[in-house]
Amino acid sequence: DTGVSQDPRHKITKRGQNVTFRCDPISEHNRLYWYRQTLGQGPEFLTYFQNEAQLEKSRLLSDRFSAERPKGSFSTLEIQRTEQGDSAMYLCASSPREGKGYEQYFGPGTRLTVT
Amino acid sequence: LAKTTQPISMDSYEGQEVNITCSHNNIATNDYITWYQQFPSQGPRFIIQGYKTKVTNEVASLFIPADRKSSTLSLPRVSLSDTAVYYCLVGDMYNTDKLIFGTGTRLQVFP
């Protein structure tokens, strides 16, 4: 299966620590998205890459969050100085080059728990 | 923004056809309509996407009237495994301002 993969699947960290998540998109997809999802809510858009360029970043996204996609392949999402409110599922998705609307393929997510 | 409105929840029984309607009165010319399914603790799964008229795949059908101000996701002969949350999104790939999942429609299928 060559779907979107995310690592780790679960992360427990203490408040104030930094965490980094990795996403490997479907290989031929050039666009990559990060989302955050809390219980009972739909995924919330965080940021978006086309190839290695970060084109959009949610205005709601704290400066403690940063994402990279250095070679236009995998991406990392880092959260610095984690807070309890950062506890959520972090989802990554990729979309095909020829896509038109919001056709995206999601990974399984990384569940973050901040204690 | 092309805000979408869909029912919070729906109930059905196995073997029935389920239709979930999404309203998007302010849809723009370049916007596509995309539906996702999500099970607990999993990422959303792309189901179907359309621009106008009807689209059908092995999972579902999507009906879009001529004015495109609404759309209906049709799930034929649902089973217990179709119990999930369904999201309707409207937009185009170049504009993330409309990339809003909302709370979706929670479909519960009973035996």
**Count of domains in chain B?**
1
Q: Which of A40, A89, A101 sits opposite B49 (nearest CB)?
A: A101
Residue B89 in contact with partner chain A when CB distance is under 8 A: yes
Residue B3 belongs to some domain of the structure:
no
Residue B47 belongs to some domain of the structure:
yes
CATH of the domain at B40: 2.60.40.10
With bands split at pLDDT 50, 70 and 90, how would you rate the model's confidence at A104? Answer: very high
> Nearest Cα to A21, choosing from A60, A57, A68?
A68
Q: Please tell me the distance from the alpha carbon of residue A54 to that of residue B61, in angstroms, as a whole number.
A: 34
For the residues A3-13, what does the mean pLDDT come to?
A: 97
Residue B72 belongs to some domain of the structure:
yes
User: Is A106's CB within 8 Å of B93's CB?
Assistant: no
Residue B2 scores a pLDDT above 60:
no
Residue B2 belongs to some domain of the structure:
no
The per-residue DSSP string of B9-66 comes to EEEEETT--EEEEEE-TT--TT-EEEEEEE-TTS--EEEEEESSEEEE-SS-EEEE-T
For the residues A7-24, what does the mean pLDDT come to?
A: 98
With bands split at pLDDT 50, 70 and 90, how would you rate the model's confidence at B51? Answer: very high
Residue B22 scores a pLDDT above 80:
yes
Q: Which of B41, B45, B91 sits opposite A102 (nearest CB)?
A: B91
Range of the domain at B19: 9-110
Q: What is the pLDDT of residues B54-73, one digit of tens each?
A: 999 999 999 999 999 999 99
**Residue among A61, A92, A94, A102 with most chain B CBs within 10 A, to mutate:** A102
Q: How many CB atoms lie within 10 A of CB B2?
A: 19
Cβ contacts (< 8 Å) between A93 and chain B: which residues? 43-44
Residue B1 belongs to some domain of the structure:
no
Residue B4 belongs to some domain of the structure:
no
> A40: helix, coil or strand?
coil
Residue B60 belongs to some domain of the structure:
yes
Percent of chain B with pLDDT strictly greater than 70 = 98
Residue A12 scores a pLDDT above 60:
yes
Residue A26 in contact with partner chain B when CB distance is under 8 A: no
Residue B37 belongs to some domain of the structure:
yes
